[in-house]
Structure 1
Amino acid sequence: MRNLEPALAKKVKVIVVTRSVEDFQNKDLTAWKEATKHIETSGIHLVYKPNIHQKFAIIDQKIVWYGSINLLSYGSAEESMMRIESNKIAYELMGSLEKIA
């Protein structure tokens, strides 16, 4: 959230797509509820999609961060993230979210 605060202060539209509540086990449910409540109260629009596992961020419809890192959490495993500047890839990824039901 600290990294998003400057963008939110400038009224930048931020959307977070995350899994639905049904996708979480009881042990993770409390943390998920707290995190989504915090995100929503910060002015970020949340979209819930069941059964997704994609991990990417799109900035200004052209900068894509894509990889194995959970962008809203952290862990101790070695993971990677790649930065790509491509309108085409950004729009393809945004389109892939629309296809998930």
Structure 2
Amino acid sequence: MMQHLKIVLENKVRVIVITRPIGDFKDKNTSALQGALDLLKVAGVSLVFKSNIHQKYAVIDQRIVWYGSINLLSFGSAEERSCGLIAQTLLTN
């Protein structure tokens, strides 16, 4: 996936990942998570950390929203649900 992110970042697309801080995860997961976050940061992805979140959504071009139980940054065999919305304008919050 990093090769795809690098292409869009080279084309001046702004990518922001909002996730929980490292301290919010179990110790056994922190090493792998820190490695992934470091890769994203070096590639030019903006990272925002917020505690107590579990929402999964993607905002594209400030008007398309994908929202649901789908894990947008992973590949698994679990059944997932998502919904796509297109809006004329979205709030910036």
TM range (shorter): 0.7 to 0.9
1:12 positional shift: 1.1
Q: Deviations over 1:41-80 (max 9, x none)?
A: 0000000011100000001110101111122223321112
Summarize the alignment of residues 18-97 of structure 1 with structure 2, pairs less than 5 Å apart: 18-88=19-89, 90-91=90-91, 94-95=92-93
Q: What is the one-letter code of the residue matched to 2:8?
A: A
Q: Structure 2: how far apart are the matches of 1:15 and 1:86?
A: 20
Q: Structure 1: how far apart are the matches of 2:66 and 2:44?
A: 22
1:2 positional shift: 3.4
CA change 1:17–1:82 in 2 (3 A) is same
Unmatched tracts of structure 2, length 5 or more: none
CA change 1:83–1:2 in 2 (3 A) is farther
Q: Structure 2: how far apart are the matches of 1:77 and 1:51?
A: 23
CA change 1:28–1:51 in 2 (3 A) is same
Q: Structure 1: how far apart are the matches of 2:76 and 2:4?
A: 18
Q: Structure 2: how far apart are the matches of 1:77 and 1:10?
A: 33
CA change 1:59–1:68 in 2 (3 A) is same
1:87 positional shift: 4.2
Q: Where is the helix percentage greater, Structure 1 or Structure 2?
A: 1
Query: RMSD value over aligned CA atoms?
Result: 1.6
Q: Structure 2: how far apart are the matches of 1:43 and 1:29?
A: 21
